[in-house]
Amino acid sequence: MARKVKSVLRDKCEQLLHFSRTVSEPLQVVRQGRACMRAALITLILTSVVLAASHARAQSRVDVVPSVSVGSVYDDNLFAQVLGSGGQMLQVRPGLEATVESPRLKLGSLWTFDMQHSNHADLNTFDARRHADLELAYRSTSATTLGFAARYDRTETPGEINLLSGVLGDRRQAHRWEAYPNFSHRFRPRTSMTGSYDWTDESLLDNGTGRMHVLRTGLSHEYTTRTTFTTSYLGRRFVDETDTNSSHAILGGWDYELAPGTRVTLQGGPRISSYRGIAPELVAGFFRDTNRLDVEVDYWHGETIVLGIQGPVAVNSGTARLTWPMTRTIEIGSHSAVTGIVTLDQRQVTTYRETLVSSWSPGGWYTVAASYGVDYQQGDIRRNLFSNANVLRHVFRVSVTVAPRLSRAIRPSDDPAARAKGVSQ
């Protein structure tokens, strides 16, 4: 009798188990779909870790830099409005930077977030900003290098994410994701090929999202030791909630070294788009890098996306960056930019930006920095109440950063000295 009861119970249990599996299959499919994105990200992280581990014996250096920065900020236009209101903020920024370098692998990452306290209660937050980036370069052969870069930003100040346009906006939560796989290959001693794909996704709370795909590929040839010629293809695709646009450009370029540490570059060509027809694409730059002064001046006429604006925008941008190391411990600099933006429906805005920076590193772990920045914006492409008014903003900042560097050199395990002293030192 007991055996018969056990047999009946076993049959019932198997039926119930089969029924539960049948009911849960759709739910499992949904869960598996949700897990795909997480799995892709985890796979990328694990791939980087495996590459680093596979070259552990050949690593030459590992650096880890934990840091904490404490700063005071005065902003006379906290909400980037025509009639601005000023305020003070105390910011604390923990961070962690790590780099791994070997003869074939270079891996670097940085992570920071901001805690903020202000005399405006609306700006008090434990998570005012987040930033994370990853850079990976792997030399698979003597002629081929594979790379990958990724970046994530979250902020309550959208103007900080408009990296190319500098357009100011109301304080509102904004996100930006970017992924950048790339490669380079040298066919001959003087001829090489490069390629990259840049994916950018931006979103602004209660104001939509925008996505940009950029594909680049090109050839370069060193005509002489000082002159290089390039030819390349540039394709862009813009996707938002209402429309999709694309453009294609064929560019020719020239790079010339005027003197050691000094060079000029020029690249340009026609661009054909689905929304404007034919227009020029142009990039020009001047660079000088010496022990006494670093200078970078460039001009760009192209297209990009702006947070909260549908479709691509045309850009005319000129920037200048100067860095002057006065002494071994003191450095000052200037960052200037003028940018003009035109939207698909011919709305226009021009931004002027100037930032003066200085830093003092007395040695050891400490750095004291100060900066003054001014932003002046003419027009507003978001069509608010003051669409034709101007916005002026001044920001003063003083900060102290503590950043100890933890370093370790690693010798190959087949080195006799390493076997005698241990693998690492």
* Mean pLDDT of all residues belonging to the chain: 83
- The confidence score (pLDDT) of residue 179 equals 97
Query: Could you tell me where the DSSP H helices lie in 72-197?
Result: none
Q: Reduce the secondary structure of 90-106 to three states and give it as a string.
A: EEEEEEEEEEEECCCEE
Each residue's pLDDT tens digit, 161-184: 777 777 887 778 889 999 999 999
Query: What proportion of the chain, given as a percentage, has pLDDT over 90?
Result: 58
Q: Which residue type, as a one-letter code, is found at position 41?
A: L
| Residue 361 clears pLDDT 50, i.e. is over it | yes
Average pLDDT over residues 386-403: 85
> Which residues, at least 6 apart from 10, have a Cβ–Cβ distance to it below 8 Å?
none
Dist CA 120 CA 117 (whole Å)? 8
> Which residues, at least 6 apart from 73, have a Cβ–Cβ distance to it below 8 Å?
88, 89, 90, 91, 395, 396, 397
Exposed, middle or buried, 89 (CB in 10 Å: 0-12/13-18/19+)?
Answer: buried
Average pLDDT over residues 77-105: 88
For residue 293, give the nearest of 338, 258, 262, 329 by alpha carbon: 262
| Segment among 53-62, 107-116, 204-213 with least mean pLDDT | 53-62
* 3-state DSSP assignment of residue 50: helix
Dist CA 420 CA 172 (whole Å)? 59
Domain spans of the chain, in order of start: 55-421
For residue 288, give the nearest of 328, 324, 326, 337 by alpha carbon: 324
* 3-state DSSP assignment of residue 24: helix
| Residue 407 clears pLDDT 60, i.e. is over it | yes
| Residue 397 clears pLDDT 80, i.e. is over it | yes
Task: Indicate the pTM of the whole model.
Answer: 0.80
DSSP secondary structure letter of residue 163? T
| Residue 107 clears pLDDT 90, i.e. is over it | yes
Query: Two tokens at 340?
Result: 């003009």
Exposed, middle or buried, 6 (CB in 10 Å: 0-12/13-18/19+)?
Answer: exposed
For residue 409, give the nearest of 389, 424, 387, 393 by alpha carbon: 424
- The confidence score (pLDDT) of residue 6 equals 41
For residue 74, give the nearest of 60, 90, 58 by alpha carbon: 90
For residue 268, give the nearest of 284, 256, 257 by alpha carbon: 284
For residue 208, give the nearest of 158, 150, 166, 273 by alpha carbon: 158
- The confidence score (pLDDT) of residue 60 equals 77
The residue written with tokens 């236009």 in the block is: 77
| Residue 34 clears pLDDT 60, i.e. is over it | no
* 3-state DSSP assignment of residue 281: strand
| Residue 389 clears pLDDT 80, i.e. is over it | no
| Residue 108 clears pLDDT 90, i.e. is over it | yes
Q: For residues 168-188, b (16+ Cβ closer than 10 Å) or e, as one string?
A: bbbbbebbbebbbebbbebee
- The confidence score (pLDDT) of residue 412 equals 58
Q: What class, spelled out in words, does domain 55-421 have in CATH?
A: mainly beta
Query: H/E element holding 44?
Result: helix 2-54
Average pLDDT over residues 13-37: 39
Each residue's pLDDT tens digit, 133-147: 999 999 999 999 999
Dist CA 140 CA 352 (whole Å)? 44
| Residue 42 clears pLDDT 50, i.e. is over it | no
Average pLDDT over residues 283-287: 97
